[in-house]
Structure 1
């Protein structure tokens, strides 16, 4: 069994906590840069390669800037994400807009910013033309349907997914778009989530590369890029084997040379759209044990809750927990580690064997750097926590402050309750 090691020491964390109270999300700048450089190295054989970070995973402009400095682009799925990415400095083709059930205003902004648009459905061609216009470069999202499997191991079920066009639709979409003046085409597909196997991307690549050849032959379209999307996962559990992104890149290269090069399509650019792989291991939720409860089970109550990290509550997802200062102590106590929401699924761990936890201990909840803070919410009036960046020089920078009651009340129409709430929450009316 491998061991998960926090990217900070107990001493570092205690110093941070003396300035910023828990709970908070903490990100590792050095780890983010290291991961980005590894991904770029893995696909450096493709001259046009670009990683478009999935903004939805961790939408913070400071983190986006780090990724931009490492040569990444931004993958956006909403109006707000487009605004953020543009403000950070991503411009035009450095942004992919992949959306579904897309509002008109989102498409209008995407066209105003002249980003690469990835159409989710064939009907969106007419919709886009009606609310804005059709650009010269358009990507289409493909859904092959059925089950997606590797070695008879079903990994996901695209046939049940709401995303993408059928095989017949994407051929027809290319013909329609070409008749409307589109000169450069892209293909996109996402068939499985959080895969922990080096075989996923090469298998997905084969499907998309063969489709690209067929589309070129049947429509005469010039395919300039293929977006392999996300799906490269991480080893949440210590006993899992991490993906080897260098091996994945090499696997994709072999399929590229087998399928696209003989078809005269060796100039096709490859894009990726990673979120979890880029950020999850490089972020953690830090919380303090504030209560112990001894009833039918042993409970540890934390000052964080599912509002800070909801993946365990809604998916039953495993997130490893390190008790800071006790990393090498025997895991001889069985706990449910919980938050304070009025919901019984508000648990970071169930029947987890951990070292003995005392009130005041700091818990480092691993792999919370993607789909952690971004999925937060205000149920029970819980306030979103701060986001902190552990910089390469060891210093810590607050990159998002914690919410206050004033933030929570700010969007209310107070009416007769306004003066009292304003006084109590110190809101300036």
Structure 2
């Protein structure tokens, strides 16, 4: 979708100056927009006794962004050693961090338990014996199988590598209780970029019903349910945004009814990433070539190593040409320079006529943009900037250099004879 009017109003007048100072390409994020979304999320679930967002670090793993989330009172959702380290460097401690990994190695468990620990969210019943000392608080990720549908991005639950099956879930908590756990949470993650809020309401309802079933079977109480992430954003201008207010109201009603039946209300956790930062970022590039053959191609100074969603998912990202109106348009492909024909930011897009040195703004790159970067063809990832609430612009990650690329070739010789 087009950038929010407040982001555009503050960014666009200064964009030529920013480009002149920093050079293109770059990702730029809007601090005030991120903070406003944080406030909206918090308000939507203010009727639940214990609500907490654990920001999905994988969406935008930049310390400056994590600092904003910490300042807004949110925790961190991590799935690797480095994400745990980043979250602790941002000030996350103990139960402010949820570690949800899959195919977890022993080194990752060691990092999870270090430096004050975290909420351990196990992806499979087979991992429980591999945890040498089961923490007091334990959580499992639930996969409902054919009981629920997924969506195009994350796939159907029966084909998903994630989670404990319905047939295993009671036994998982039975074993955790036998190993000494006394506090319990329940987690799931079934959709990605979901715009129908009712899907998330159904997920909360499913988990609350499962909590009742497990509690009755094992005589345990659940401190929280975590409905995961997956809240969607409207990438296309004609899409309606997710109705956060309606979602909050209907989920709150479920929790109030649960409390009336059982005398207590579990906490509600979630781990949104894209919803929190996705609409508050843009990839700013410059047109450097124009090629007219069977199609017209506009070559820009970034490639899919800076934003691979269009190539990976066929995803749409809205594009504006700075300073140009829609009066005179042309159908073009907007492409990078990788030796891959799917290195395209837009395919047969109707855009204002683009000339060399025009600035293009690729919208909604605040999640799964820079984070999914790579170095194929030796391409280097661009810098990241933050448009701060005080109207300053700050460099929050420098661009990669050739020295970075070759750094892993600087090592001590190590050979074994077979």
What TM-score, normalized to structure 1? Answer: 0.92
Match of 2:24 in 1: 22
Asked if the contact 1:142–1:187 (Cα under 8 Å) also holds between the matched residues in 2, the reply is yes
Aligned Cα RMSD in Å?
1.9
Match of 1:421 in 2: none
Secondary structure of 1:410's partner? Answer: helix
Comparing 214-223 with 336-345, which one deviates more in the overlay? 214-223
Asked if the contact 2:35–2:72 (Cα under 8 Å) also holds between the matched residues in 1, the reply is yes
Q: What runs of 5+ residues in structure 1 fail to find an aligned partner?
A: 417-429
Match of 2:137 in 1: 137
Alignment of 1:264-303 (within 5 A): 264=262, 266-303=264-301
Match of 2:416 in 1: none
Q: 1:401 to 1:223 in 2, by over 3 A?
A: same
Asked if the contact 2:256–2:265 (Cα under 8 Å) also holds between the matched residues in 1, the reply is no
Q: 1:59 to 1:155 in 2, by over 3 A?
A: closer
Asked if the contact 1:28–1:390 (Cα under 8 Å) also holds between the matched residues in 2, the reply is yes
Q: 1:353 to 1:136 in 2, by over 3 A?
A: same
Asked whether 1:319 is paired with 2:317, we answer: yes
> What is the CA–CA distance in structure 1 between the aligned matches of 2:326 and 2:175, rounded to whole Å?
64
- How far did residue 374 of structure 1 move? 0.4
Match of 2:219 in 1: 220
Match of 2:12 in 1: 10
- How far did residue 108 of structure 1 move? 1.1
- How far did residue 181 of structure 1 move? 1.1
> What is the CA–CA distance in structure 2 between the aligned matches of 1:146 and 1:307, rounded to whole Å?
36
> What is the CA–CA distance in structure 2 between the aligned matches of 1:386 and 1:252, rounded to whole Å?
39
- How far did residue 332 of structure 1 move? 2.3
Secondary structure of 1:284's partner? Answer: strand
Secondary structure of 2:143's partner? Answer: coil
Match of 2:394 in 1: 397
- How far did residue 27 of structure 1 move? 0.3
Asked if the contact 1:148–1:154 (Cα under 8 Å) also holds between the matched residues in 2, the reply is no
Match of 1:122 in 2: 125
> What is the CA–CA distance in structure 1 between the aligned matches of 2:188 and 2:246, rounded to whole Å?
21
- How far did residue 11 of structure 1 move? 3.1
Match of 2:251 in 1: 252
Secondary structure of 1:195's partner? Answer: coil
> What is the CA–CA distance in structure 2 between the aligned matches of 1:114 and 1:55, rounded to whole Å?
17
Asked if the contact 2:189–2:228 (Cα under 8 Å) also holds between the matched residues in 1, the reply is yes
Deviations 1:168-217 (A, max 9, x none): 21100111111111111110001111111121211111111100110100
Asked if the contact 2:153–2:191 (Cα under 8 Å) also holds between the matched residues in 1, the reply is no
Asked whether 1:33 is paired with 2:35, we answer: yes
Secondary structure of 1:335's partner? Answer: strand
> What is the CA–CA distance in structure 1 between the aligned matches of 2:155 and 2:301, rounded to whole Å?
35
Match of 2:146 in 1: 146
Alignment of 1:111-260 (within 5 A): 111-112=113-114, 113-129=116-132, 133-146=133-146, 148-149=148-149, 156-258=155-257, 260=258
Q: 1:333 aligns with which of 315, 330, 334?
A: 330
> What is the CA–CA distance in structure 2 between the aligned matches of 1:4 and 1:183, rounded to whole Å?
46
Asked if the contact 1:187–1:225 (Cα under 8 Å) also holds between the matched residues in 2, the reply is yes
Deviations 1:23-79 (A, max 9, x none): 111000000100011101111111211000000010001100011100110000000
Asked if the contact 2:153–2:192 (Cα under 8 Å) also holds between the matched residues in 1, the reply is no
> What is the CA–CA distance in structure 1 between the aligned matches of 2:263 and 2:154, rounded to whole Å?
29
Asked if the contact 1:289–1:301 (Cα under 8 Å) also holds between the matched residues in 2, the reply is yes
Asked whether 1:84 is paired with 2:82, we answer: no
Asked if the contact 1:230–1:272 (Cα under 8 Å) also holds between the matched residues in 2, the reply is yes
Deviations 1:370-415 (A, max 9, x none): 0000000111111111010000111100000111111111110479
> What is the CA–CA distance in structure 1 between the aligned matches of 2:155 and 2:261, rounded to whole Å?
30
Match of 1:419 in 2: none
Match of 2:104 in 1: 102
Match of 1:374 in 2: 371
> What is the CA–CA distance in structure 2 between the aligned matches of 1:107 and 1:331, rounded to whole Å?
57
Asked whether 1:67 is paired with 2:69, we answer: yes
Give the number of equivalent residue pairs: 409
> What is the CA–CA distance in structure 2 between the aligned matches of 1:252 and 1:160, rounded to whole Å?
27
